[in-house]
Amino acid sequence: MRRRWRNWSGEQRCRPLLIQRPRTREGLIAFAIAATEQDRPLKAAGSGHSFSGAALTDGVMLDIGLLNRVLDWDRSGGRVKVEAGITLHELNRRLDRRGLALENLGDIDRQTLAGSISTGTHGTGAAFRNLSSQVEALELVTADGSLHEIDGSDADALRAARIGIGALGVVYSATLRTVTNFRIDRTDRARPLAEVLDGLDHFAGSLDHFEFYVFPHTDTALCRESTRTQAPAEPPRPAAVYAQEVVVENWLAGAFAQAARHVPAAIPTLSRLAAAGAGKNRKLDSSFRVYASERRVRFTEMEYAIPRESAREAVERVLEIAGRRDLEVVFPIEVRFVAGDDAMLSPAHGRDSAYVAVHHDHKGDWQPYFDAVAHVMADYGGRPHWGKRHSLTAHELAPLYPRFEDFKAVRGRLDPGGAFANPYLEQVLGPVTAPKRRRRR
């Protein structure tokens, strides 16, 4: 009988023919070969935290969650080789025990390493690139069971595979460049929106990590301002963390969303109350304990990367849309900053970027809001996050990525039969283009 699979928000669902859970590299290879012999499509799935249909399949799903071992440490060079199904949560703790850390992280840690790098998961920090930039090598299993060791000696394959959206094969392991572990001193505070928009370059440039949230109908920016430090941690009491992060940030947000669902006319008042209620809050702890928080309230999300210099104008336009009463937006917009990188499909490819994220009640009518915001993003050459909602097609995406065709060439080389294709990849990449044959003279 087919098993059901659904993503974190419950909106993306599929019924794979089989869900296989390899425990070893050899097991993974055997499952890939078996599926290919039976002519079944294959898809690796991480922990289902993508809002897009990237991980969906009606063929054989390879759930990589049991591939979670650390394979090799090179402490002097700060390199670590790990199986790619490890969650960021687990990886952070194991690194910390060895005095190491990931350079930067997003705002949750429940994703697998493979899932995070495959979609270009990022945190914030104008000088820091997305997670996949820390990958120095990958082991990739293709549909015929071959194991490809991809490293700097085939730089183009690595630039493709670092953010591969699951299109090239199954990432079995990743070798990561890490840094000495450190603490983050973070202050959350409210600032007038005008002050933040006027000082974007200053805030993003002078703080190691800066991001802000704005509720529609308000003129307050809720800022997260973080500095990297070696000062000793001042871990809050677990009860205080629970009170702030679980009760305040989640349950109140949940109650807020529920109230707004039933009384949409109250949204502007609720937004103002939420913004006014935000106090000053400080946290000084190990980096991974500060970056990641609990997200218990379900929502759906769209996020675009745009050139950093367009951030102010774009944010003002998005806020104008979010304030439209007919769209019933109760969630804040979120703005982060990421350094440019060279992965072929990185939304921050070749440009320092601002990421603008919009959220909506996943049970509500999010489409008109997201469409209107996508329209604005198009004016800035916006590139969507591969793991979040968007409706762009290969035809629209190709001009946004200078190396789009190069990525497709690597795909044609590694997955010539399109075994890893699914409707999402059809949408964003189009069909697999078989590699061109060299003509014999």
Ligand X SMILES: Cc1cc2nc3c(=O)[nH]c(=O)nc-3n(C[C@H](O)[C@H](O)[C@H](O)COP(=O)(O)OP(=O)(O)OC[C@H]3O[C@@H](n4cnc5c(N)ncnc54)[C@H](O)[C@@H]3O)c2cc1C
Binding site for ligand X (CB under 6 A): 8, 43-50, 54-55, 64, 84, 106-108, 111-112, 114-116, 118-119, 121-122, 165-166, 170-171, 295, 385, 387
Q: Are 407 and 168 in contact (CB under 8 A)?
A: no
Least distance (Å) between residue 306 CB and ligand X: 15
CA distance 206 to 126: 9
Least distance (Å) between residue 39 CB and ligand X: 20
Locate 50 and state its tokens.
Answer: 């993508």
Least distance (Å) between residue 279 CB and ligand X: 23
Return the number of the residue (22 or 236) whose C-beta is nearest ligand X: 22
Least distance (Å) between residue 272 CB and ligand X: 25
CB atoms within 10 A of CB 151: 15
Least distance (Å) between residue 259 CB and ligand X: 21
Return the number of the residue (114 or 414) whose C-beta is nearest ligand X: 114
Least distance (Å) between residue 352 CB and ligand X: 16
Return the number of the residue (241 or 266) whose C-beta is nearest ligand X: 241
Least distance (Å) between residue 427 CB and ligand X: 12
Closest CA to 327 of 378, 270, 372, 273: 372
Least distance (Å) between residue 381 CB and ligand X: 19
Locate 27 and state its tokens.
Answer: 């097991």
Return the number of the residue (41 or 78) whose C-beta is nearest ligand X: 41
CA distance 129 to 415: 28
Least distance (Å) between residue 169 CB and ligand X: 7
Q: Are 315 and 332 in contact (CB under 8 A)?
A: no
Least distance (Å) between residue 84 CB and ligand X: 5
Return the number of the residue (217 or 329) whose C-beta is nearest ligand X: 329
Return the number of the residue (105 or 217) whose C-beta is nearest ligand X: 105
* Three-state secondary structure string covering the chain: CCCCEECCCCCCEECCCEEECCCCHHHHHHHHHHHHHCCCCEEEECCCCCCCCCCCCCCEEEECCCCCCEEEEECCCCEEEEECCCEHHHHHHHHHHCCEECCCCCCCCCCEHHHHHHHCCCCCECCCCCHHHHEEEEEEECCCCCEEEECHHHHHHHHHHCCCCCCCCEEEEEEEECEECCEEEEEEEEEEHHHHHHCHHHHHHHCCEEEEEECCCCCEEEEEEEEEECCCCECCCHHHHHHHHHHHHHHHHHHHHHHHHHCHHHHHHHHHHHHHHCCCEEEEEEHHHHHCCCCCCCCEEEEEEEEHHHHHHHHHHHHHHHCCHHHCCCCCEEEEEECCECCCCCCCECCCEEEEEEEECCCCCCHHHHHHHHHHHHCCCCEECCCCCCCCCHHHHHHHCCCHHHHHHHHHHHCCCCCCCCHHHHHHHCCCCCCCCCCCC
Return the number of the residue (124 or 181) whose C-beta is nearest ligand X: 124
Return the number of the residue (109 or 285) whose C-beta is nearest ligand X: 109
Return the number of the residue (217 or 385) whose C-beta is nearest ligand X: 385
Least distance (Å) between residue 421 CB and ligand X: 11
Return the number of the residue (49 or 360) whose C-beta is nearest ligand X: 49
Return the number of the residue (211 or 285) whose C-beta is nearest ligand X: 211
